[in-house]
Amino acid sequence: MIDITLPDGSVKQFEKNATPMDVAKSISEGFARNVISANFNGTTVETVTPLTTDGSLVLYTWNNDEGKTAFWHSSAHVLAQAIEELYSGAKLTIGPAIENGFYYDVDFGDHVVSEKDFKAIETKMIEIARGKHEFKMRSATKAEALELYNGNEFKTELIENLEDGTITFCDHSTFTDLCRGGHIPNTGIIKAVKILSVAGAYWRGNENNPQLTRVYGISFPKQKELTAHLELLEEAKKRDHRKLGKELELFTFSRKVGQGLPLWLPKGAALRERLENFLKAAQKKAGYEMVVTPHIGQKELYVTSGHYAKYGEDSFQPIHTPKEDEEFLLKPMNCPHHCEIYNSAQWSYKDLPKRYAEFGTVYRYEQSGELHGLTRVRGFTQDDAHLFCTPDQLDQEFKNVIDLVLYVFGSLGFENFTAQVSLRDPDNLEKYIGSNENWEKAEKAILNAAIDKGLNYVVETGEAAFYGPKLDFMVKDALGRRWQLGTIQVDYTLPERFDLTYKGSDNELHRPIMIHRAPFGSMERFIAILLEHTAGNFPLWLMPTQAVILSISEKYEKYSEKVLNLLENDEIRALVDHRNETIGKKIREAEMQKHPFMIIIGEQEEKENKITVRKHGGEDLGMITIERFSEIIKEEVSKTLKSF
């Protein structure tokens, strides 16, 4: 007999070689019908994998992220089979599950796959799925694997890097694929599929390798779920920040300036300035000091920090000056500069903590194929800050930063989030710099702070920064998509590399601890996510224009200007639409520009010294005094803009 421990802590006994499905059936037949994947002792297994030892078992359904991963991984196999049957001579490479669906990279030879092929692929996939073919894992020798893929140089390359005894295949129907495992019980669970797009992709992500065709798809256990997902995709298209950014005149790009280098238009620059001022005000209350650092630094600075070794390949090439052997780099990170600011004076423990903040622009040479609007750019501004503190101050300082991040989220409408504690990978320690002792201290400090602040958090091993563990905030937007926003990191390593010190109460020199933090992260990426989350309907306190004044005719321009001046005196951002257009057209265009309030000015309004107010979306507030309108604006702002 073997003991199987379930997530609730209960222990059940089973005969040796019982399967996860046997365990599921022992809980209930109804539950077992929904189980599609499992994890045993931290390893993903099939629902039919024999369990031979005591261990912990987690059973997954479609409602779990792990269940969806198995579902979409299995669907990728079905996609591969469909492609193999439809396109003679196509060479399959790899096909993983991704956050929403799956893809398969294929060398189609002379055939060019386009949108016109999608329906045929979908039909073939559903035909295969209806066969209810079981997914079966089997081991193979290296020689057998190489023989199977004779003529497919991509699979051959993968196999050459594997060792005998570690190679497995997955079979279903008449199809076989090189695979490590993690499948649903059979193809029949797949009820609905959609091929979403095709794109070019270099083999193994290296632009020096052959270009393949990446076929993206998604699948569901019910047709209605696919329908709902496609509706969500249509809504996402409407909310695309690139589309909204153009419509709202926030930013643009220029080929002459260069890919991945956004140009902020006046309205976008004003939006950024309001976000910066919002955070600067909170930071001032929290005891931060603003600093400014240059856009470049000597190469040696980033060699010292470790950023050159880490980001050198992803950075712009060194800038060579007329002086021999003198090299500068465009700044990839702000932290080394802030370390040198700290190093510009000798500090006592009584002076700490020092909190340096900067909206600093940094540069990374992202591959052109990875650039995407504002979310992936080559030049971006971080709301960066670095805190230097004593060991006794670390816990409270870290918690204070958590409070600041939560304040930012609350004021901008991000209410659905979890915290992710990112630790280093114990099996790959060469990825990181610094001593084991300091890493253990830093990881413990973050976990304790997350617990004490009552955060809903998960632990992710292997996701730490190269110099220290971190606490990331994973936010769900209005469409249910997850984004990483806001990060806090504990760092014992850079203070050592830069020989940072302070004089303690014992009159000896000690090493400060460094906290990295950025509530927004990248200003560019944050604004892109905020645009899509709000569909351009920003919180009222942030809107570029809070009200637009629309006069029915030129006769009322003078009164319109009077209203504008009164609103501006109350610090309400407004503008007058002076164009000689119909009031209907002005209202339609104001709606498209997402102005929160439209103020209609005509004969009656001028006569009674009032205004008629219409909200974005069509709600009519009627004729009210200007004073009452100012009160409405202030009341709405106070609902979202919290005090810190």
**Residue 531's pLDDT is what?**
95
Residue 432: name the closest of 388, 382, 493, 366 by CA: 493
Q: Is there a catalytic annotation at residue 298?
A: no
**Residue 284's pLDDT is what?**
96
DSSP conformational letter for 179 = -
Q: Is there a catalytic annotation at residue 364?
A: yes
Q: Locate tokens 């340096």: which residue?
A: 356
| Amino acid at the residue 49 | T
Mean per-residue pLDDT pooled into runs of 10, the chain (644 residues): 93 94 94 95 93 95 95 98 95 95 96 95 97 95 93 95 92 94 95 96 90 97 96 93 94 96 95 95 96 95 88 82 90 95 97 97 88 95 96 92 93 91 88 83 89 91 86 91 90 93 96 94 95 94 93 90 94 91 91 93 92 92 94 90 78
- Report the Cα–Cα distance between both ends of the chain, in Å, rounded: 59
Torsion angle (degrees, nearest 10) of CA 536, 539, 544, 547:
100
The rounded distance, in Å, linking the Cα atoms of 381 and 247 is 23
Among candidate residues 81, 283, 382, 489, the one labeled active-site is: 382
| Amino acid at the residue 187 | T
Backbone torsions φ then ψ of 99, nearest 5 degrees? -60, -40
Q: Is there a catalytic annotation at residue 372?
A: no
Q: Is there a catalytic annotation at residue 420?
A: no
DSSP conformational letter for 313 = G
Among candidate residues 384, 472, 477, 577, the one labeled active-site is: 384
Q: Is there a catalytic annotation at residue 384?
A: yes
Residue 84: name the closest of 5, 149, 6 by CA: 149
What 3-state DSSP class applies to 474?
Answer: strand
Q: Is there a catalytic annotation at residue 470?
A: yes
Total residue length of the chain: 644
Helices 223-239, 523-534: inter-axial angle, 10-degree rounding: 120
Torsion angle (degrees, nearest 10) of CA 535, 541, 545, 546:
100
Among candidate residues 386, 517, 594, 614, the one labeled active-site is: 386
Long-range contacts of 631-640 (CB under 8 A, 24+ apart): 633/540, 633/546, 633/547, 633/570, 633/572, 633/597, 634/570, 636/540, 637/539, 637/540, 637/541, 640/411, 640/412, 640/413, 640/539, 640/540, 640/541
The rounded distance, in Å, linking the Cα atoms of 41 and 63 is 21
Among candidate residues 170, 335, 339, 389, the one labeled active-site is: 335
Q: Is there a catalytic annotation at residue 170?
A: no
Among candidate residues 364, 510, 511, 616, the one labeled active-site is: 364
DSSP conformational letter for 598 = E
Residue 81: name the closest of 113, 138, 121, 140 by CA: 121
Among candidate residues 91, 307, 470, 533, the one labeled active-site is: 470
**Residue 185's pLDDT is what?**
96
The rounded distance, in Å, linking the Cα atoms of 596 and 337 is 41
Was 516 annotated as part of a binding site? yes
pTM confidence score? 0.81
> Using alpha carbons only, how large is the chain's radius of gyration in Å?
29
Was 229 annotated as part of a binding site? no
